[in-house]
Amino acid sequence: MGNMLSSKEAEDDNWKSDARYAMESGTYCIICGGPFDLEGDVYNLDPKEPRYQWVYDFRLLGHTHDVERHRATSGNNRPRNTSSVEDVFLSERASFSMSGAGIFEVVDESGTDDIWYNTLWYKPASTSSLFALHEACIETSCRALDRLRGGATPSLAMLYQFLNARFLASHAHAHPKDDTANDIFDLCRVSYSCGPRSVLAMTRLEWWGGEYDRFYANPLDIPDLEAFVFNVLVASSHEQDSGSKMVLTMQEPRGIERLPTELFDIIRTYLPPKSVIKLHRTSKTLATKVPLHNAFWRDGLHDGSLHPHIWDLDIKRIETFRQESNITFSASDWDWRSVAKLLAMKRFPVTGRDARLDDMPLGFWNRCRIWSVIEEALIHGREWPPAQRRRDSGFEVSKT
């Protein structure tokens, strides 16, 4: 793409893509900025391709007591609520067509009739809204909320509360004719270092250059994820296991440092990776008693405890790739720590980025983008009490 993304000419360009017009009419996913119908909306894209079908899988999310307020048709028939969370409404898969009336349709409980709904509807007295969201965006966002907030509240309830709070706050401070009030995550913003946050922020040159494709890549189904990580491993330096390096200290052990290494081995099995790293970095003595071997980074990536946005990595497939290749070194020679540090990133620079990321699957890129949208909003937002927000923006790999 180059630096033309953030050029003065691009900033002054009043051109709007079809996706931007969809945003203004409220027919886009407010989490990822993607549409629900690609037919006729995207240049040089076949909407029937299997890789784009996730865009058509979406549901309506709202509060059970307020769903009827967003109804656009009369009648006493009710939609089926697939949510098991109290007070949260999650419809069955909805349908939408840009060539239709611009509203969403959901089959009623009997399966014989359609109910029409308006989403992102607001007026000054509103206390809630109804959101159309891709299933992939719901799952990714719920996983992010579970990681960043946790607690007893179900992730689906947290997601609705979070979206609704931002939606109401955005409209409460917006001009009545502001057509960007629905952009509650600043998806129209262009980052000078990482490019557009969504297709809503793309310039004319990017749009016609086909850069939109990554935004329409499935963030859940990433069949080439293991091949990508394997290539990153091969390209990484094969350093000696950093966890086995000798660390010299002249101080006498104090307090917890006096515990035997065998006891630390037991303790670390009950701790999440981030806590293990903090323990390792506490002192030089603990750095020797709580080493971070290659297996620590590998296992953390495998079970998703290290980077929760990579919850589906199959280490066995990576080992299969190694056995089928002509690589002579063993899996223990791989620099998993370096790979873990690289994969901790969720927003990738347009230029000057690590060459190991050149062949990143578009679906993985899109997953990281969606995750970072939620993550950054949680960290910097003011919708929830500060005591309930966690300040850690993700996972920082130890430099030890």
Looking at residue 247, its pLDDT comes to 52
Return the structure tokens found at 282: 């506490």
pLDDT of 161 above 90:
yes
Same domain, 253 and 161: no
pLDDT digits (tens, 9 = 90+) for 25-61: 668 899 999 989 887 656 677 888 999 999 999 999 9
Does one domain contain both 137 and 231?
A: no
393 — pLDDT class (breaks 50, 70, 90): very low
Q: Is 259's pLDDT higher than 50? A: yes
Q: 376 in a domain, yes or no?
A: no
Tokens of 357: 């990321």
Q: Residue 387: inside a domain, yes or no?
A: no
Q: What share of the chain has pLDDT > 90, as a percent?
A: 40
User: Which range has the worst mean pLDDT, 46-50, 226-230, 366-370?
Assistant: 46-50
Of 197, 216, 235, the residue that ends a domain is 216
Instruction: State the pLDDT confidence band at 380, using cuts at 50, 70 and 90.
Output: confident
In this structure, what are the phi and psi dihedrals at residue 104, rounded to the nearest 5 degrees? -100, 145
Q: How many distinct structural domains can be found in the chain? A: 2
Residue pLDDT, tens place only, 62-90:
999 989 999 988 888 899 999 999 999 99
pLDDT for the residue 264: 80
Is residue 103 in a domain?
Answer: yes
Cα gap 102→331, rounded to integer Å: 54
386 located within any domain: no
Check if the beta carbon of residue 85 is closer than 8 Å to that of residue 159. no
Whether residue 279 sits in one domain with residue 133: no
Q: Say yes or no: 193 and 243 in one domain.
A: no
Using pLDDT thresholds of 50, 70 and 90, give the confidence band for residue 384: low
Looking at residue 38, its pLDDT comes to: 82
Domain end (from 196, 216, 236): 216
Q: What is the mean pLDDT of residues 161-170?
A: 93
Spatial contact of 243 and 395, defined as CB atoms under 8 Å apart: no
**pLDDT over 70 percentage in the chain:** 80
Q: Which of 216, 241, 256 is the last residue of a domain?
A: 216
DSSP SS3 for 305: coil
Based on the fold, state whether residues 183 and 239 are members of the same structural domain. no
DSSP line for 98-125: TTTTS-EEEEBTTSS-EEEE--S---TT
Are residues 76 and 164 both part of a single domain?
Answer: yes
Binning the chain into helix, strand and coil, the percentages to the nearest 5 are: 40, 5, 50
Q: pLDDT digits over 178-189, tens only?
A: 767 889 999 988
Do residues 193 and 234 both lie within one domain? no
My answer on whether 292 and 335 are in the same domain is yes
Considering the domain architecture, whether residues 205 and 271 belong to the same structural domain is answered as no
**Same-domain check for residues 240 and 325:** yes
3-class state of residue 252 by DSSP:
coil
- 332 versus 174: the higher-pLDDT residue is 174
The whole-angstrom separation of Cα 3 and Cα 390 is: 34
Place of tokens 């750095």: 287
**Residue 292 within any structural domain of the chain:** yes
**Are 246 and 130 in a shared domain?**
no
Nearest by Cα to 301 from 355, 346, 344: 344
Position 375 scores a pLDDT of 94
Residues 237 and 205 in one domain: no
Q: What is the mean pLDDT of residues 311-337?
A: 85
Q: Is the pTM of this model over 0.75?
A: yes
| 382 belongs to a structural domain | no
CB 257 within 8 A of CB 267: no
Query: Is a pLDDT exceeding 50 seen at residue 15?
Result: yes
Residue 45 counted as domain residue: yes
- What's the pLDDT at 156? 96
Longest dimension (CA), the chain: 80
d(Cα 294, Cα 397) in Å, to the nearest integer? 13
Residue 396 domain-assigned (yes or no): no
Contacts of 233 (CB under 8 A, 6+ apart): 318, 334, 335, 336, 339
Domain that holds residue 13: 2-216
Q: What is the pLDDT of residues 148-157, one digit of tens each?
A: 887 789 999 9
